[in-house]
A and B are shown apart, each in its own frame.
Chain A
Amino acid sequence: MHYRYFPGCTLKTQAKEMEDTALAAASALGIELQELPEWQCCGAVFPLSDDELITLLSPVRTLAAAGGEPLVSLCAACHHVLKRAQEVIKRNPDTREKVTDFLEVDYAGEGRVLHFLEVLRDDLGFDRLKEQVSHPLAGRKIAAYYGCLLLRPAKEMQFDDPENPTIMEDLLRSLGAEVVSTAYRTECCGAYLSVTEEKVATATAEKIVHSARRAGAEALITACPLCRYNLENIGGPALPVYYFSELLAEALGVAALKEVARG
């Protein structure tokens, strides 16, 4: 189980604990995540206009660097941009030619682009993961929060059912936690609106957190640093928001290795 690993800018800064806990859990599970020797920011948002080629350069450079081996990322936004960039390269020969000529790389869309959750579900398997859980999160009522970028557009991301995903719930169950489900788990958290339209972002995030709290959740998990920031940056009683990897590491008993200062 060897993968090339793309961390993304935020995982080296504000979301350091996501990377540390994920890498610790991965090695405990015998999954080798070999960081790309050289990488840049994935671009955070996927360019939605066909004449925006410059913004494809960075993700395609990363895809080419993986050299056709399976490429794993932890952050939902990075996985979203990389996967859709690969899809464009596969589907649009004209764009491929322009971008790969400019980058002077030979890349035609080969290799699997995976999120770490997909590795756990499809390659490792949640049942084998359950066997390695030493500290089950017994009695912990956790709600899974997916957001947008992992699920949509479903035809390209092929991650899970966009309206009724189960991958995070299945992970939580294999970690022994008690799963709480809210219909807001696939609603947008407000994303980059928190920079310029903070009130709008806070309103959407509040709906999600309050619904989880009403459903009895004690904490939320997510796979996206921006979702976590928005879900914590709300008025009224908040809920702790963990990265899924933090609970994973805790259940595997490797979390205590490094006490992380929680904001």
Chain B
Amino acid sequence: MKEIERYAQFLKDESEADSTELQGGAMNSFPLTEQVLKVCQANSLWPLTFGLACCAIEMMAAGMARIDMARYGAEVFRPSARQCDLLIVSGTVTKKMAPALMTLYEQMPYPKWVIAMGNCAISGGPFKVEDNYNVIEGVDRLIPVDVYVPGCPPRPEALIEGILKLQEKIAGKRHPWPQRKMKDAVKVHPIP
């Protein structure tokens, strides 16, 4: 457990120290370019194909026809961490899984973001019990987390909501271009 904690501290320090510099690189000195870059980043998040438990099925469902994640540029699930900039931790992280998860996070190139999906990833969820000996109580103890999506498991819409929140964090606006022009009125899609 000590080793895992040291590794987590290392990842945290690294991301805090260099986050601003690494996220935009030299482009940070040009505000307009930076803004354009950020809108581009927000509109083409590439998640990692990484399912841990129940929530992974809802993550898959979010990528399928009904709730199409591709509408937000986040459909390109990459099997390799080195091609991704979004890690969706969808499920329970166990003690055995923790080093692998942190390695995956480290393998991702900057800029990178993390969504903790589901109660298990947020706090251990239903497995945060007295005699817990194997479940990590919250993935934010291991890696920095940007957006939390609670639920057990959250509906796919909640994951989309999380991605919209993440876009808000990256680009400063809830609906960066081109989705900004969306109407406010919400239509209800009936089930036959």
A binds B: no
